[in-house]
Amino acid sequence: MTPRYDRDGITLYHGDCLEVMDQLDASSVDTVITDPPYGLGFMGKSWDQIARGFGKTGLERNKPWPRLATKDVQSQIPENALQEFHHRWASRALRVAKPGAFLLAFGGTRTFHRLACGLEDAGWQIRDCLMWLYGSGFPKSLNLGKALRKASRHDDAGAWEGWGTGLKPAWEPILVAMKPPEGSFVENAARYGAAGLNIDASRIRGPPGDGCWGSSNATTPRGSAFNRSPNGGDYRTQAHARGRWPANLLLSHHPGCRHLGAARVKGSATSKAFHATYAGMSVTGFLRGVSHPGHQRSDADGLETVERWSCHANCPVRLLDTQSGLRKSGSRLTGKEPSRPAKHVYNAMKHARKWDPYPDRGGASRFFYCSKAGRSERNAGLKGMDNDHPTVKPLALMEYLCRLTSTPAGGLVLDPFAGAGTTLIAARRARRPCLGIEIDKKYVEVATRRLSAFRPAKVNET
């Protein structure tokens, strides 16, 4: 095989993914991230008409679904043909994937159940399903009132005015599957270097903080029970400083949204008092050590920095925040809890902690990852050639998925349906090698030009 593009750890082949994957080494891929055809005949595109030629008028099922009469009848049913299509490419992807490798595959809301069944038939384990909210889709619906008038059924048309046949698309599922590990996750990780999701690399970033609460061995000198905190590590929550645990809901700003920069807003009500009271000293009077602002995301002025957006009316971030209203994070803490569940005497800290676990304010969207793709991103590097691929995914979203599934060594990403090359570009930005396969010559050219326009990030870039 001769790749059409091979540079900076990114390789792109022009060909049928079934044939190309047959030539790859077994257990050589760490992650599969792909956007296969949904089987909807989208915009009349031939590559999305998986079931074309399989249907027969008047074909009846002799047994309830999913058990059909014979295999030859199954092959003639469009729905089953789509499932078989996914089974074929997923089987080859399973062979080249390492045990414990993850597969992330986009699907359509009407047909992703066939994708899930095809993956399971091929031997993949379904682990989760991400919900990607984007809000920029357009409704594909028949106006029944208009259609009846066009059919000269004017008497019926009035009663059906305002009726349609479909909803506006606003989300897509991303199935999360895994090749069964060999042995335990620990054993598989040690043998193959693949076993789990990179949680810390994909945490939901918030305002900066050091993640410390309560007195601990890090805030007071180490020594006897009188001048150190027992089990000090239990009081530290550095994870909060790195960001929130990633969720299986992803948000994407509408392409019409504009990023306006940053704004200073009112933060935690206790932040000013905390900074004034605990600056430089331990919370407990008889211990000596440096105290930190803990989970306070606000500064000494009681303000914190947040992003500012001018959002489109259909932006899911705006809609979610409108529904949720302004909310402050945190649990049911009263501010009077002891630093350690009560014991007594010397090594039990019974002094009150006066701060919240994550006291930031805002709409519900801040709990979920956000991304945005625009026309300039789609056409970067094309120089007069328009990227008309109808299902281009946001680069930030794909880069996030590359980080989420990265291994300690980075790990090779495979995209059997590379399209316009967004997964390959995202992998380059995430500093991961990637191998893409695309059957359409036109989109191979588009992907090649887009790849050439994106330089790999330097080691010291963030």
Predicted confidence (pLDDT) per residue in 272-328, tens digit: 555 555 444 444 444 444 444 444 455 666 676 667 888 888 888 888 888 777 666
Which residue has tokens 């295999």? 71
- What share of the chain has pLDDT > 70, as a percent? 64
Q: Is the residue at 357 inside a domain?
A: yes
Same domain for 219 and 296, yes or no, is yes
CA distances to 3, 10, 179, 240, 342 from 16, in Å: 13, 18, 23, 45, 65
Which residue has tokens 């396969």? 437
pLDDT at 276: 57
Q: Is the residue at 58 inside a domain?
A: yes
- Asked if 378 and 390 touch (Cβ cutoff 8 Å), the reply is no
pLDDT at 455: 65
Same domain for 382 and 443, yes or no, is yes
* Torsion angles phi and psi, residue 24, rounded to 5: -85, 155
Q: Is the residue at 162 inside a domain?
A: no
Same domain for 26 and 109, yes or no, is yes
Tokens of 432: 């991961």
Worst-scoring range by mean pLDDT, 66-70, 157-161, 375-379? 66-70
- C-alpha of 353 from chain center: 35
Higher pLDDT: 372 or 213? It is 372
Domain count, the chain: 2
pLDDT (tens digit, 9 = 90+) per residue, 119-176?
Answer: 999 999 999 999 998 876 777 788 999 999 999 888 888 899 999 998 888 899 999 9
Same domain for 224 and 349, yes or no, is yes
pLDDT (tens digit, 9 = 90+) per residue, 348-360?
Answer: 444 444 444 445 5
Worst-scoring range by mean pLDDT, 47-51, 66-70, 172-176? 66-70
Q: Is the residue at 140 inside a domain?
A: no
Supply the range of the domain harboring residue 353: 205-367
CATH number reported for the structural domain that contains residue 36 in this entry: 3.40.50.150
Same domain for 214 and 177, yes or no, is no
Q: Is the residue at 163 inside a domain?
A: no
Domain end among 333, 367, 401: 367
What's the predicted TM-score (pTM) here? Answer: 0.74
306 three-class SS: strand
d(CA 139, CA 147): 16
Same domain for 240 and 325, yes or no, is yes
Same domain for 350 and 315, yes or no, is yes
Q: Which residues of 323-335 are buried (b: 16+ CB within 10 A; e: fewer)?
A: eeeeeebeeeeee
Tokens of 69: 């009469």
Same domain for 352 and 447, yes or no, is no
d(CA 161, CA 149): 10
Domain end among 332, 367, 402: 367
Same domain for 313 and 403, yes or no, is no
Same domain for 310 and 402, yes or no, is no
Q: Is the residue at 329 inside a domain?
A: yes
Radius of gyration for the alpha carbons in the chain, expressed in angstroms and rounded: 27
Tokens of 396: 């930030």
Which residue has tokens 């007071």? 220
Burial class of residue 18, CB neighbours in 10 A (0-12, 13-18, 19+): middle
H or E element, residue 173: strand 171-178
65 pLDDT band, cuts 50/70/90, is very low
Find the distance separating the first CA and the last CA of the chain, reported in whole Å: 35
Same domain for 129 and 26, yes or no, is yes
Higher pLDDT: 52 or 229? It is 229
190 pLDDT band, cuts 50/70/90, is very high
- Asked if 135 and 314 touch (Cβ cutoff 8 Å), the reply is yes
Domain end among 367, 394, 423: 367
pLDDT at 335: 45
- C-alpha of 25 from chain center: 28
The total number of residues shown for the chain amounts to: 462
d(CA 51, CA 159): 35
Same domain for 184 and 290, yes or no, is no
Mean pLDDT, all residues of the chain: 74
d(CA 390, CA 413): 23
Q: Is the residue at 159 inside a domain?
A: no
pLDDT (tens digit, 9 = 90+) per residue, 83-95?
Answer: 888 999 999 999 9
- Asked if 394 and 371 touch (Cβ cutoff 8 Å), the reply is yes
pLDDT at 327: 62
